[in-house]
Amino acid sequence: MKLARVGPPGAERPAVHIGGRWHDLSGRWEDLDARSLTCETLDDLRAAVEAGSIDAPIEPERFGPPVAGIGKIVCVGLNYRDHAAETGSPIPAEPILFMKAADTVVGAHDTVLVPRGSTKTDWEVELAVVIGERAAYLPSAHAAAAVIAGYTISHDVSERAFQLERGGQWDKGKNAATFNPLGPWLVTADEVGDPQRLGMRLWVNGILMQDGNTGNMIFPVGELVAYVSQFMTLYPGDVINTGTPAGVALGRPGAPFLRPGDVVVVEIDGLGRQRQVVGAA
């Protein structure tokens, strides 16, 4: 199933895609959030879809973030060999984790703002995992599959000077307003199948900058979810950004960082496509 939140910012309604159209779910769910992302609730919806009992077609004018009330966003750094190489970093022996605040999240086609004082705002296409069940101390990558509600596209926008040149951890460069476009929709785990065979691409002003595949992750999705759960409890509605492949501005000759007016298109096979116009904070 494809699930989305459609409507103006702050007033989105949950929706499901059936037979080529979006259908309003607001009579059924208050929102697409921790309560609706559990296996049981998704199974109930799947049964209703299969029974043909959902018939409330709508024309979405905007896709908001596909998850409401995100508790936390856990990000994985340097999870693709080619990206580690382009940044001059060693291949990590264990996943590198950092956090991104949930208030950085915007819709897939919303404006991304270059922060004040920024000279190095950069792009990162990533596969995002959306958690559907509480998870602590998962015993294996296999066990992780049962806690994943689905997947969506995450654009982990990053300010490299703030991240790498201003001291401390990476947080300064990862948490500016609008720095995490998410969506346009969530695809449930059953429909995605194997998450390690998805092509991922990102263009800036029509030029292909990133052209990777989730099959090249150093630590695959199941391992990552199990690993994260050893250090913190995951809850329904939490998101894991699983890292970006090569091709970011930081690793390119001439370092072509984002400027107001640039247009970024982000795509992952089976998960749709984002498009953001860059503005100034």
Cβ neighbors of 194 (< 8 A, separation 6 or more) are: none
Q: Binding segment for Zn ion among 45-53, 116-124, 186-194, 268-276 (CB under 5 A)? A: 116-124
- Nearer to Zn ion among residue 80 and residue 235 (C-beta): 80
Q: Which residues lie across from 129 on neighbouring strands?
A: 151, 240
* Structure-token match 């920024």, residue found: 118
Sign, Cα dihedral of 107, 108, 111, 115: positive
- The reply on whether position 159 binds Zn ion by CB under 5 A is no
Binding Zn ion (rule: CB under 5 A), the pick from 12, 24, 122, 156 is: 156
Residues 35-54 that bind Zn ion (CB under 5 A): none
Write the interaction track for Zn ion spanning residues 65-104; mark x where CB under 5 A is met and - where it is not: ----------------------------------------
Total residues at interface with Zn ion (CB under 5 A): 3
23, 16 contact by CB (below 8 A):
yes
Binding Zn ion (rule: CB under 5 A), the pick from 12, 24, 124, 159 is: 124
- Smallest gap from Cβ 225 to Zn ion, in A, equals 16
- Nearer to Zn ion among residue 180 and residue 229 (C-beta): 180
Write the interaction track for Zn ion spanning residues 235-264; mark x where CB under 5 A is met and - where it is not: ---------x--------------------
Q: Using CA atoms, how far apart are residues 251 and 254, in angstroms rounded to an integer? A: 9
| Alpha carbon separation from 183 to 39, 95, 227 (Å, rounded) | 20, 24, 24
Q: Using CA atoms, how far apart are residues 279 and 260, in angstroms rounded to an integer? A: 4
Q: Using CA atoms, how far apart are residues 33 and 130, in angstroms rounded to an integer? A: 10
- Smallest gap from Cβ 219 to Zn ion, in A, equals 13
The answer, yes or no, to whether the previous bond of 95 is cis (omega within 30 of 0) is: no
180 — alpha (psi -120 to 50), left (phi > 0) or beta? beta
- Smallest gap from Cβ 83 to Zn ion, in A, equals 9
264, 112 contact by CB (below 8 A):
yes
- Nearer to Zn ion among residue 156 and residue 238 (C-beta): 156
- Nearer to Zn ion among residue 187 and residue 250 (C-beta): 250
- Smallest gap from Cβ 243 to Zn ion, in A, equals 6
- Nearer to Zn ion among residue 36 and residue 175 (C-beta): 175
Residue ranges in contact with Zn ion by CB under 5 A: 124, 156, 244
